[in-house]
């Protein structure tokens, strides 16, 4: 069982491996949501995520014999680093099974702790089955990423820290994958203040916990396809599920597109990199039906590889209307390009790229195609530029940029 005594013990134990992640008050998200929003930046942990808490506390509860067998787990990356780090600190070996889709940064960082990494399956559930096979073959101690009460207790130490800093907190938003973090945080939160609301947040395309709560039992989704790879879980934990049923007040689901624009918001307003799963609690702010409440969003991790980051930034800029491509057709004669450039310059548009296609028509005097990728201040500014080009007779057509480079 998860008890207040075990939570207190875990909160002290994890201090041996965690960095202080003091709450950050967010003016931007407070104004946007109409609430008083605080961020709990677990993305700033040494391993880049909160998972170090549960893994280390779990390892501390194992016997010498269990530790000597070595630790094994399955993980999309953050729990992997937590277990690998715990194994290193406790002087034992670690094997981590990760989905083949795991970002390279998570794979490399896991290996940097001395762990053996096995890539298997496209989602966590497939990696999990492989890890169980290896655990039996090699007689290793399996450390479940979420379906373990000791692990969940370690994760719940986050709630202890939140209450110490902000005793008057009204709502805690917590990302959900398999349910370990949500179970630990919600259980301790209700022990400390039964009136607090703890709301879970899941990707819309991987909402296994919401489906399970609706069914009144653990159910499996046919798929879990989302850019929030750390929460791409098809089946939640049956061990932690009763704690979720009892202590979680609600679940909000968010679309992947919402995570993309919130990545930009956090980078630009708080100068932090937060991975897509960690952004779930930020994206949920717009879905809250309340005002003037003290809300804490748990940023669960920040392990995002550069390629994914580049893609998210590009799509985020497009979604916000800050980058767009417009095509116009114009006669192939001197001065036409300058005329178009002048229209854009007068409205302070910034040209990123030009593509001049002279072969769009057999009659070049009739029309050549000019594609312009522009930087704007947002959708309103974008529409001003498009309207100005239209007023000059260019019949502009909006297209999605294929690349910013």
> Annotated catalytic sites, by residue?
51, 300
186 Cβ neighbours under 8 A, 6+ residues apart:
159, 172, 174, 198, 200, 243, 244, 247, 248, 249
Concatenating the DSSP letter of every residue in 190-236 gives HHH-TT-EEEEEEEGGG-HHHHHHHHTS----S----S-GGG--SS-
Residue 122: DSSP 8-state: S
Residue 228 and residue 256 in contact, taking contact as beta carbons nearer than 8 Å: yes
Neighbours of 2 (CB within 10 A): 20
Concatenating the DSSP letter of every residue in 88-104 gives HHTT--EEEEE-TTS-H
Residue 272 and residue 21 in contact, taking contact as beta carbons nearer than 8 Å: no
Residue 75: DSSP 8-state: -
Instruction: Please give the Cα distance from 172 to 158 (Å, whole number).
Output: 11
Concatenating the DSSP letter of every residue in 221-285 gives -S----S-GGG--SS--TTTHHHHHHH--EEEEE-HHHHHHHHHHHHHHH-----TGGGHHHHGG
Neighbours of 171 (CB within 10 A): 22
């Amino acid at each position: 069982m998860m008890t207040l005594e075990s939570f207190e013990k875990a909160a002290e134990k994890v201090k041996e491996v965690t960095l202080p992640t003091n709450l950050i008050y967010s003016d931007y998200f407070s104004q946007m949501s109409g609430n008083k929003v605080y961020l709990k930046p677990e993305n700033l942990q040494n391993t880049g995520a909160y998972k170090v808490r549960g893994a280390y506390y779990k390892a501390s509860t194992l016997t010498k014999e269990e530790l000597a067998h070595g630790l094994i787990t399955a993980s999309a990356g953050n729990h992997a680093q937590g277990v690998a780090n715990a194994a290193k600190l406790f002087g034992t070996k670690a094997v981590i099974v990760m989905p083949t889709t795991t970002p390279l940064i998570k794979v490399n960082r896991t290996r940097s702790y001395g762990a053996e990494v096995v890539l298997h399956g496209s989602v966590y559930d497939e990696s999990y089955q492989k890890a169980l096979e290896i655990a039996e073959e090699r007689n290793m101690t399996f450390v479940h990423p979420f379906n373990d009460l000791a692990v969940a207790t370690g994760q719940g130490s986050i709630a202890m820290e939140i209450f110490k800093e902000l005793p008057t907190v009204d709502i805690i938003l917590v990302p959900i994958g398999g349910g370990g973090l949500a179970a630990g945080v919600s259980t301790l939160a209700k022990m400390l203040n039964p009136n607090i609301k703890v709301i879970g947040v899941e990707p819309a395309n991987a909402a296994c916990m919401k489906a399970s709560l609706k069914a009144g039992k653990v159910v499996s989704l046919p798929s879990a396809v989302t850019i929030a790879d750390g929460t791409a879980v098809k089946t939640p934990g049956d061990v932690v599920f009763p704690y979720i049923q009892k202590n979680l007040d609600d679940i909000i689901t968010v679309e992947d597109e919402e995570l993309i624009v919130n990545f930009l918001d956090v980078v630009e307003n708080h100068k932090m990199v937060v991975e897509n799963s960690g952004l779930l609690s930020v994206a949920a702010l717009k879905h809250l039906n309340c005002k003037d409440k003290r809300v804490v969003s748990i940023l669960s991790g920040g392990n995002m590889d550069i390629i994914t980051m580049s893609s998210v930034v590009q799509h985020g800029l497009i979604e916000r209307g800050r980058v767009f491509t417009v095509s116009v057709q114009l006669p192939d004669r001197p001065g036409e390009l300058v005329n178009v450039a002048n229209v854009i310059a007068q409205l302070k548009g910034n040209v990123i790229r030009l593509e001049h296609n002279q072969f769009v028509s057999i009659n070049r005097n009739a029309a050549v195609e000019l594609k312009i990728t522009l930087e704007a201040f947002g959708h309103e500014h974008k529409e001003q530029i498009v309207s100005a080009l239209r007023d000059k007779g260019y019949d502009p057509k909006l297209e999605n940029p294929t690349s910013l480079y």
